[in-house]
Homo-oligomer: A and B are copies of this chain.
Amino acid sequence: MTTSSPAPVMGIRDEVAALKRERIITAAVELFYERGYENTTLDAVAERLGVTKPFIYAHFSAKTELLAEICTRGVASAVRAMEAALAMEGASPAEKLAALGRRFVTAVLQSQKLIAIFTREEKNLLPGDFQRVSRMRRDFDHKLSGLLEEGVAQGEFRIADPRLAALAIGGMVGWAYVWYRPAGRLSVEELADEMAALVLAMAQAQPARRTAAKVSRAPASRAPRTAATRGARR
| Chain A interface (Cβ < 8 Å from any Cβ of B) | 34-36, 38-39, 119-121, 123-124, 141, 152, 158-161, 163-165, 167-176, 178-179, 185-186, 191, 194-195, 197-198, 201-204, 217-219, 222, 224, 227, 230-234
Docked CA distance A186–B160 (Å): 13
Given A36-B38, A158-B232, A186-B164, the answer on whether A204 and B227 have CB atoms closer than 8 Å is: yes
Q: A-side binding surface: helix, strand, loop or mixed? A: helix
Docked CA distance A34–B73 (Å): 24
Whose C-beta in chain B lies nearest to the C-beta of A191?
B164
In angstroms, how far is the closest chain B Cβ from the Cβ of A48?
18
Whose C-beta in chain B lies nearest to the C-beta of A153?
B233
Please give 20 more A-B residue pairs, beta carbons under 8 A apart, in addition to A158-B201, A171-B175. A36-B123, A119-B178, A120-B121, A159-B232, A160-B194, A160-B227, A160-B232, A161-B194, A163-B185, A164-B194, A167-B175, A168-B198, A171-B171, A171-B176, A171-B178, A201-B201, A202-B202, A204-B224, A218-B218, A218-B219
Question: How many protomers of this protein does the assembly include?
Answer: 2
Listed from nearest, the 7 A-B pairs whose CB atoms lie closest are A171-B175, A38-B38, A172-B172, A168-B172, A171-B172, A202-B202, A158-B232
In angstroms, how far is the closest chain B Cβ from the Cβ of A204?
5
> Out of B119, B124, B197, which one reaches A36, CB within 8 Å?
B124
Chain B hits for A173, CB < 8 A: 171
Docked CA distance A229–B35 (Å): 48
> Out of B120, B163, B164, which one reaches A195, CB within 8 Å?
B164
Whose C-beta in chain B lies nearest to the C-beta of A160?
B232
Asked if B164 and A175 sit within 8 Å, CB to CB, the answer is no
Whose C-beta in chain B lies nearest to the C-beta of A219?
B218
